Homo-oligomer: A and B are copies of this chain.
Amino acid sequence: MKAEASPLGEFELIRRFFMRDAKPRGVGDDSGVILGIGDDAAVLALPPGTELIAAVDTIVAGRHFPLSTDARSIGHRALAVNLSDLAAMGATPAWATLALTLPSADAAWLTRFSAGLLELADEYGVALVGGDTTEGPLTVSVQVLGHVPRGMALRRDGARDGDLLAVTGTLGDAGAGLAFTTAPPTVKSGPASPDVAALVQRFDYPTPRVRFGLAARGIASAAMDLSDGLLGDLPKLARACGLAAHVAVQRLPLSDAMRAAVSVGQAREWALAAGDDYELLLAVAPARFADLETAAARLNLRLTAVGELHDGSGVTWSLDGRDFLPVTHGYEHFSQASTQITV
């Protein structure tokens, strides 16, 4: 299907916003990029002795971020959610391709979008090696490619009976940030405090735990990233390992900003059920937990043991030593309530 040629065509769009100095951003001598944007496909050299790690994640306006979101945050998020998948595999990020569907080629929007995406790409040494732009409702699909030394990928299914469950950082902040962004401040009145601003920042600019994923390789027995909330994601890890999981809810790490902004009960609800934290959930043998803690401390990253895995199936929760039955669920697409964003 065709239409008339344009003043700012697809090729020009890619060149103008995503290439620099005739080669893609992030392409250095050791980038492995033999041929980047501009041919039918990219040609890439994988380091010797490694396996390729590939992930794809799509974000859709109004589904994964509010329609009002700054384009810089959208660009950051599109890559961050994918780097988070590489982090969960213990992989070194290397390359990304971008499939961008947008309603119109708005230069101001694209400037901010590409800045958000490329700043994060630079931080993690990711070269953007391919892209595709199409017209339509705003949808951003990024595929990331990385590598691990042969046989060293952190899988979901490696945990054993007795392994501890640990999480990086603090949980629920992004969910709280989204709630404060999109809902009237019913929880606390008054103008947005620095605490609320910090929570909103956590939603708008998630930090993929790439460096910790690399450090956890060879120590953790299993890992996944928390994109859909602990309630949604932990059952997947337990199922992959063929084990039962138990979590002590009072141990879930809460940020100072969260504690200052809302009640502990509200904070725990977000820590359990809200998505978008992009922290890592790890399983680790008790004897190796101290090594994992050391690795986290070196990165100034909080690491918290929140439960354990044991023979059996299913996930159970406790609060202060008593059974706890969460009433909310993790995020799933195509749910009955899926047209409605609940916070």
Contact = CB atoms under 8 A, between A and B. Distances in A.
Interface of A: 1-11, 13, 34-35, 38-46, 51-60, 62-65, 84-86, 88-89, 91, 95, 97-99, 101, 104-105, 129-137, 139, 141, 143-146, 148, 150, 153, 155-157, 175, 178, 223-225, 228-229, 232, 236, 240, 273-276, 328-343
B333 A155 contact: no
A337 B85 contact: no
Which residue, A41, A88, A130, has most C-beta atoms of chain B within 10 A?
A41
Contacts of A11: 236
Contacts of A7: 336
A126 to B, nearest CB: 13
A103 B90 CA distance: 34
A1 B178 contact: yes
Nearest to A82: B41
A250 B145 CA distance: 45
B60 A134 contact: yes
Contacts of A228: 2
B38 A130 contact: no
A134 B99 contact: no
Contact of A335 (B4, B275, B333): B4
A3 B53 contact: no
Give this chain's copy count: 2
Contacts of A104: 334
Contact of A343 (B1, B236, B336): B1
A34 B63 contact: no
Contact of A98 (B56, B62, B64, B240): B56
Contact of A175 (B2, B8, B129, B175): B2
Contacts of A60: 101, 134-136
A52 B63 contact: no
B141 A330 contact: no
A273 B2 CA distance: 8
B134 A41 contact: no
Contact of A134 (B8, B58, B88, B131): B58
Contact of A101 (B46, B58, B95, B155): B58
Contacts of A175: 2
A99 B44 contact: no
B44 A51 contact: yes
A89 B45 contact: no
Contacts of A143: 54, 56, 97, 99, 143
A224 B11 CA distance: 15
A38 B237 CA distance: 10
